[in-house]
Structure 1
Amino acid sequence: MEILMSLSLLLTLLISIVFVKKKMSPSSNLPPGPRGLPIIGILHQFTGAPHRWFYGLSLKHGPVMTLPLGFTSAVAICSRDAAEEVLKTKDLETCTRPKFLGARELSYNFKDITFAQYTDTWRENRKVSMVELLNFKKLQTMKSLREEEMEFMVKKISSAALEQSPMDINNLSMCLVSHILCRSALGQNLHTSKLFDEDRVVKLVTEGSLATGHFGFSDFYPGILGNFADWLFQRKKGILARMFKELDDFYQHVIDDHLKSLDGPKGTDPPADIVAGMLALVGKNGTNLDQVKGVLMNLFLGGIDTVAIIIIWAMTELIRSPRVMKKAQDEIRAALGENREKLTEEDLEKVEYLKLIVKETFRLHPSVPTIPRETMSPITIQGYDIPNNTRIYIDVWAIGRDPKVWKNPEEFNPERFIDSDVHFKGQHYELLPFGSGRRLCPAVSMASNTIEFGLLNMLYFFDWKLPDGVVAENIDMGDIGNISFYKKEPLLLVPVKHH
């Protein structure tokens, strides 16, 4: 009976708001788009991967589209020129984030950098992250840790090569990046930790990333109506609460471990990782522990799977393109010489074709295929009026497949970047794997370095082949996710030791 009364009240509120909304909505020069149903708009069509959905709609309605999603107004951007106008010309007016339920619950109410709204506090936190935590000098001090973790990975692959057994490249890549980030950023050595191992960390990252992208009713019906519906149907809130507790326990362990180290015997070196740098700022400029945990969330959930995803897709494309694989390995082995026992990050300066492979992987398989923003004032994009408080979804995946920009866009062809000045650091709007403008990912250098160095080791020390009975043409190229999208089916490859 109570549920029926609640549903009746919910329906009454919906109908009332629809009439008020229609009466108050001014006519304007909005972008074209699909017509929606009353109350729900086109939410009933919003299934599967958003980037593929936006791309399909753009083929019919054009590269700038209005999307009626519940009671929210949204615009999808699927072209380079429109993306440049949003991210460069109108960057200041569009550099805040929508307040999505999943991100709110797991970022300590937006006390982070990735999902927080554009405020003075956000600007200060981002400046600190760039100057104090992710600067070149800090990254160089962690170089030996990254090289050591690459050696561990090579040993792991060598064991599989001796047995001629297939390796799960998805898991291998996630474990590699987990080890690197946990040591360099969080001060946690997963080889020796008694509380956390690589399997638990990978599980936390995978589940946490999916939970961060959870939508609630309040995401499409803002205010009392959506909050009431979220309360009425609490299953998703329960999932988020459980995930939040697991992640919060992990962050608290990391913080407690650092605090113990700081109180350790005199003469011992304090931790020099990113978390230590954040804790040193607590009490300064209003920084508190929730903000430390918010940044931890960005590093942990945003820094592991997004990097691993590119390694996975690069290896997938290479095994499907023997010509590119051979060319890459020939260049690497010629430049570095034979019979090396270990590689260093300086070796990356000697290989160029590998960097083109990474660029091409960013183009076809961006880890975060859709960038969300929100207008803070009315703007004009490509001649269309975009009202204040409009969500903007920039479809990086669709832009990377635009035939007006890329010749044979579905083909994996690293040579397209030869003699090209296009890079992935936010100034070329046809290639935006890390975003652009004020919202450019602050860890671009750390991420790209890890991807390139991981692939360098995998391609120098090993040849790779598909398991018996598997042909390249049958490899599943589907993806799955919420915010970051990873290869749906694990990539299984057999390593063959080169030396």
Structure 2
Amino acid sequence: MQFHPFTLIIQALLSLFLISYITKWLYKKTYGNKKNLPPSPPKLPILGNLHQLGLLPHRNLQSLAKKYGPIMLLHFGNKPTLIVSSADSAREIMKTHDVIFSDRLESSVGKRLLYNCKDVSIAPYGEYWRQLKSICVLQLLSNKRVQSFHYIREEETALLMKRIKREYPTGSIDLSEMLTQFTNDVVCRSAFGKKYSAVENGKKFILLLKELLELLGTISIGDFVPMLSWINRVNGFDARVDKVAREFDEFFEGVIRERMENPKKLHGDNFLDILLHIYQNNSTGVTIDRDSIKAIILDVFAAGTDTTSTLLEWEMTELLRNPTIMKKLQHQVREVVKDKNGIITENDLEKMPYLKAVIKETLRLHAPIPLLPRVARKYVKVMGYDISAGTLVMTNVWAIGRDPASWHEPEKFDPDRFFDSRVDYQGLDFELIPFGAGRRGCPGISFATATNGFLLANLVREFDWALPDDVEDLDMSERPGVAIHRAVPLVAVAKQKKMWNS
């Protein structure tokens, strides 16, 4: 017996329709009357709530949360998305149900730029991810390793101080550019034994890194509405992703080839050489290929540079906007080192509680990465609501830091609030989780804060800072990306404080 192809197609479609109908009927009969979903704003067909997101989604989501509550259900296309905007709901995600919400969203952009999710930041939860995180923490990010890099922080800080002294007589200086190069140099020397900003096309490399982070922070509509994926091809977005991926791959391939061809060349006991040893000897029991190394290198480059430079940028922004707080911080820092000819050591930072308060307050108002995504691995109840497996969860740590339920006068920059509070940013106090918490919390907190605190103390010790004469008030607008930088570079006037000769 023969069937006409058209007849087969009709039969197949009817079968699929029948199966789909029966499946939905059974699901509704079993769960429909019992399902308790979080509050949701109205959505559009196909797009869901995507039309309610702008270039700065953390702000859009905060506005929606004020109307629909600290835990709400949106739909990005057909993807159910839980938005978490309070300390209590964040605790449920990152502590109570940490294992269930331990996966990351696999985006098409992330796969192309991060070597098919072989990096630490978005690799699926499992043995491979655990091994990679263990290697990164043990060999680069542990407290012991971070302390061993103190000489790098000191040398690079001294170089930056000299650069500022060299440039400030000419007028205003671009602090944003300086801070990005500084953090990148510290990261590269610590992880790879050399810095790459000084090599040929060093500035091009920094700009390439900036573009990569902007692309990673862009919502690709094709990930949520596949039928609209053609938009990214037409508007040039896909071409930009492919170009950045190709240029970074060529750069990393050159770095790896150089090390493997010159194994005896001294770079110090650095992270990259340890990675290559693991790659060549399979000494961890988990397979790490060449792409894995590139993905890890990219993680270190991007995360290490971007989050720290962003924090420094906003710290100096807030200090310039609040001269009284700047003077109070300068007084404490200078008092601690007044009998040491102004030389700061990392041990001195422990005697500067106001410095810690300024850092905490900046992290509260300007969390470097405002939205922390996770994915539910199975069905779970969160605060009484039913959350399906595969639901995307976005924790809006930026909104949590400005939540009036947790903070008095939340929009005010007030470091003094932390003198009467034990709240810290280590992932135990969910009112302040700029680095996340739980298994997927940032493993580089010690590295970032050590670099940040040491440089900030030196910047306010060595110089008096002010806005340029033609600037009455700073533009506080933000630039889209994974980390939220200032939209316009931070330009300031520095004058060296002549107090150490007295």
TM-score (ref. length: structure 1): 0.90
C-alpha displacement at 1:201, in angstroms? 3.0
Cα deviations by residue, 1:270-308 (Å, 9 ceiling, x for unpaired): 532221221121133212221111111111111101100
| Counterpart residue type for residue 121 of structure 1 | Y
Worse-superposed segment, 175-184 or 359-368? 175-184
8 Å CA contact 1:374–1:391 kept in 2: the answer is yes
Matches within 5 A, 1:8-87: 27=32, 28-87=35-94
Query: What is the rounded CA distance, in whole Å, between the counterparts of 2:267 and 2:48 in structure 1?
Result: 55
Return the letter of the residue paired with 2:476: M
Partner-residue secondary structure (3-state), 1:262: coil
Task: Name the SS for the 2:163 alignment partner.
Answer: helix
- Aligned equivalents of 1:462, 1:275: Cα separation in 2: 36
* Range with greater deviation from structure 2 (205-214 or 398-407): 205-214
Shift of 1:454: 1.2
1: CA distance between counterparts of 2:307 and 2:196?
Answer: 19
Quote the residue 2:251 is aligned against. Answer: 250
Question: Residue 173 and residue 191 in structure 1: after superposition, are their counterparts in 2 closer, same or farther (change >3 A)?
Answer: closer
Partner residue of 2:3? none
Distance 1:227 1:22 in 2: 26
Kindly provide the CA deviation profile for residues 138-190 of structure 1, in whole angstroms up to 9, marking residues without a partner as x.
22332211110001100011112333x11111111111101111211122234
Structure 2 matches for 1:188-337, cutoff 5 A? 188-190=194-196, 193=199, 195-197=200-202, 199-221=203-225, 225=226, 229=230, 233=234, 235-264=236-265, 269-282=266-279, 283-284=282-283, 285=285, 286-337=287-338
Which residue does 1:178 correspond to in 2?
Answer: 184
Report if the CA contact (8 A) 1:80-1:399 is conserved.
yes
Q: Which runs of 5+ in 2 are unaligned?
A: 1-12
Query: Equivalents in 1 of 2:227, 2:439: separation in Å?
Result: 30
2:272 partner amino acid: V
* Aligned counterparts of 1:407 and 1:32: Cα–Cα separation in 2: 26
Q: Deviations over 1:221-278 (max 9, x none)?
A: 3xxx4596478658322211100011112222222232244144xxxx4532221221
User: 1:395-474, aligned counterparts within 5 Å?
Assistant: 395-471=396-472, 474=473
SS of equivalent to 1:393: strand
* C-alpha contact 1:205 1:304 (8 A) present in aligned 2: no
Alpha-carbon distance in 2 for matches of 1:331, 1:270: 38
Alpha-carbon distance in structure 1 between the residues aligned to 2:55 and 2:326: 32
Q: What is the RMSD of the two structures over their aligned residues, measured on CA atoms?
A: 2.2
Separation (CA, whole Å) in 2 of partners of 1:226 and 1:152: 52
Deviation at 1:22, TM superposition (A): 7.8
Describe how 1:379-390 pairs up with structure 2 within 5 A: 379-390=380-391
Distance 1:278 1:182 in 2: 14
- The Cα offsets for residues 362-391 of structure 1, whole Å up to 9 and x where unpaired, read as 000001000000000111111111111000
Moved more, 324-333 or 273-282: 273-282
Contact 1:51–1:398 under 8 Å retained in 2:
yes
Q: Does 1:358 align with 2:362?
A: no
Deviations 1:1-57 (A, max 9, x none): xxxxxxxxxxx9xxx9xx979877764211001111111112122212111011000
Name the structure 2 match of 1:475.
474
- 1:360: Cα distance to partner? 0.3
- Quote the offset at 1:351 in angstroms: 1.3
Is the contact between residue 197 and residue 206 of structure 2 (CA under 8 Å) also seen in structure 1? no
CA distance in 2, matches of 1:355, 1:272: 31
Name the count of aligned residue pairs: 471
Q: Describe the SS at the equivalent of 1:464.
A: strand
CA contact (8 A) 1:365 1:397 kept: yes
Answer whether contact 1:151 1:342 (CA < 8 A) is retained.
no
The match for 1:143 is: 150
Per-residue CA shift, 1:400-450, capped at 9, x if unaligned?
001110000000000111142211111111111111100111111000111
Q: Following the alignment from structure 2 to structure 1, what is the Cα–Cα distance between the partners of residues 330 and 359?
A: 14
Identity percentage of aligned residues: 33
